[in-house]
Structure 1
Amino acid sequence: MLDTVALPVLRGRSWTARDVRARVAAQAASPAVVRAPRWLGRFARHTVTAHAGWPVHQLTPPAGPSVGPAGPGSVTVLYLHGGGYIAEPVLWHWLLVARLARDVPARVVLPLYPLAGHSSAADVVPSTADLLDELLGETRAAGGRLVVMGDSAGGGLALASAQVARERGHRQPDRLVLVSPWLDVTMTHPDQPVIARRDHMLRLDGLAEAGRHYAGALDVADPLVSPLNGSLAGLAPLTVLCGTHDVLLTDSRRLAAGAAEAGVAVDYHEAPGLPHCYPLAPIPEAAAARTALVAACRADR
């Protein structure tokens, strides 16, 4: 039942390989123009800046400054949206970031990074690492806290960007929070075909095709594309949420085990019977997950 509820809510995630190719071609010919929902103002103050030519949306609590960290004890969340690297944020992403701005409270930074067909991991990951470092400098100077959060493909981008920051010798954020992260785009884990039978949202062939487009000239196993193949040592503490009816469950389990082995603190939540990106869906089980996200941002975990 939960899958049948979440599937139309988080629509657009069940592409076949053919659908993915058509979507990438359409985006390459005529990129979608993303506009924030008008109702955002009811939750938070909303401004738009830029980074590397990307639009960057910033949401802040109504009583706080419209841009920049608020000061000691403040929280900034760099949120990287999912969508298989081929789709822009949907309504449920906007709802989540608005809730985070209000409930943490936090400044939430949502970059609209270029999608496959316009860019690839070789460009997107280093540029996201640049933004991470820029925000970390701002928040630390103000005595605040930076959390990097991402769902699905955004979770993969979050982990890869943190790895690049580490390789550059730069500081880590205070926490990485990953929701149903896509961390290995090869889609070759032997357990995935079995899990796919109960995952009514994602298709193995569509994910593999999207991963190839995002990889561009890189091998799909390159750590910039599939960060599970990179070192997990020296990363920020992790909070990971996933459901067992998610074909990407294997990525979360491998990440939790590998991070713990590398000495990284892991707060791992595995929800029986729940689908991909369930914390974003308007279902009762998502409320506790969103409470966990807020707690992770506040350093309550």
Structure 2
Amino acid sequence: MPGFIRAYLDQHFRIRPAADPEVAMPEVVPQRRPGGVAVNTDELRAGGHDEPQPVSFPSRVLLPALLRATRAQRLFGSRRVARRHLAAQALRPRAFGPPRLFMRRDVVVSVDRFNGWPVYTIQPAYTVKPAADPSSGAVVYLHGGAWVREIAPEHWRLCAQIAAEAQVAVIVPIYPLVPFGTAAEVMPIITQLVLQTRRTYGKTCLAGDSAGGQMALSSAIDLRDKHGVSLAGTTLISPGLDLSLNNPDIDGVQPHDPWLARDGTRV
């Protein structure tokens, strides 16, 4: 990966430790994306949230130039191209396992299956506890990818960082993508996975980025309304909140978005 892209990702996905060591859920620096901004449910319950972060110079000037040079938004720039990309992804699915080069040495990774899905667990290497020990806490992380793309190395890197620095288990489900998975099929399984994680690890947080942020929010609402469960925390990184894509602010944000565009996302 080119260094300037890595620096951009580091800037927008860095982690600050939580103030409460018992909850141990990191605060993720917000990054605006079409259709949503980073949301902290504790702030929503308190009746307000921070003002949107100002757009940095790299995001305002350098990133648009990079997008034009690399045509990074081309996959979602039009409905025709997005449909063609979706068909190609369905025909030749990408690998989803954690890449060796992107994983830290201070975490250990294991994999199991839940309702037929591969589900990975990332834990701090030097504080691994028995599965039945509920004292460590956990984060269920739902990766982004516009509901059509597999988990990426950057997602694995972030999940490993959360596990190592927040000292929690990070549960990463590999959920079915469009066109093979629908919300009606996927969301109930995610909710059941979160409930099982709470039984195993105790305090559990939900986190996700982009499409995964939308799914995390939907699951948190489902847990509250149907199961009477309030999670220790929910962190959403640029979640898809306005799926109608009618927010007038999208036109201003889209030129700075490194991946998505309105027309292709509507597919």
The counterpart of 1:94, out of the listed 146, 149, 156, is: 156
The 8 Å contact of residues 43 and 102 in structure 1, kept in 2 or not, is answered as yes
Aligned counterparts, 1:1-301, within 5 A: 2-3=58-59, 4=62, 15-16=76-77, 17-39=79-101, 40=103, 42-65=105-128, 68=131, 70-72=133-135, 74-140=136-202, 145-209=203-267
* Structure 2 alignment gaps of length 5 or more: 1-56
String of CA shifts for 1:147-189, please: whole Å, max 9, x gaps: 1110111100000111222232241211000111112221111
Count of residue pairs brought into register by the alignment: 203
Identify if the C-alpha distance between structure 1 residues 5 and 95 changes in structure 2 by more than 3 Å, giving closer, same or farther: farther
Q: Secondary structure at the match of 1:55?
A: strand
Identify if the C-alpha distance between structure 1 residues 49 and 103 changes in structure 2 by more than 3 Å, giving closer, same or farther: same
* Structure 1 alignment gaps of length 5 or more: 210-301
Identify if the C-alpha distance between structure 1 residues 87 and 69 changes in structure 2 by more than 3 Å, giving closer, same or farther: farther
Query: Matches of 1:14 and 1:82 in 2, distance apart?
Result: 15
The 8 Å contact of residues 79 and 149 in structure 1, kept in 2 or not, is answered as yes
Q: Secondary structure at the match of 1:32?
A: coil
Q: Secondary structure at the match of 1:187?
A: coil
What's the C-alpha RMSD, in Å, of the aligned pairs?
2.5
2:266 counterpart letter in structure 1? A
Query: Matches of 1:43 and 1:13 in 2, distance apart?
Result: 37
Q: Secondary structure at the match of 1:36?
A: coil
1:56 counterpart letter in structure 2? V
Identify if the C-alpha distance between structure 1 residues 28 and 163 changes in structure 2 by more than 3 Å, giving closer, same or farther: same
Query: Matches of 2:107 and 2:132 in 1, distance apart?
Result: 15
Q: Runs of at least 4 residues of structure 1 off by over 6 A?
A: 6-9
Query: Matches of 1:34 and 1:67 in 2, distance apart?
Result: 26
TM-score where L is the length of structure 1:
0.61
Query: Matches of 1:166 and 1:147 in 2, distance apart?
Result: 13
Query: Matched residues, percent identical?
Result: 31
Query: Matches of 2:258 and 2:123 in 1, distance apart?
Result: 35
The 8 Å contact of residues 73 and 260 in structure 2, kept in 1 or not, is answered as no
Larger RCO, structure (CA 8 Å, separation 6 or more): 2
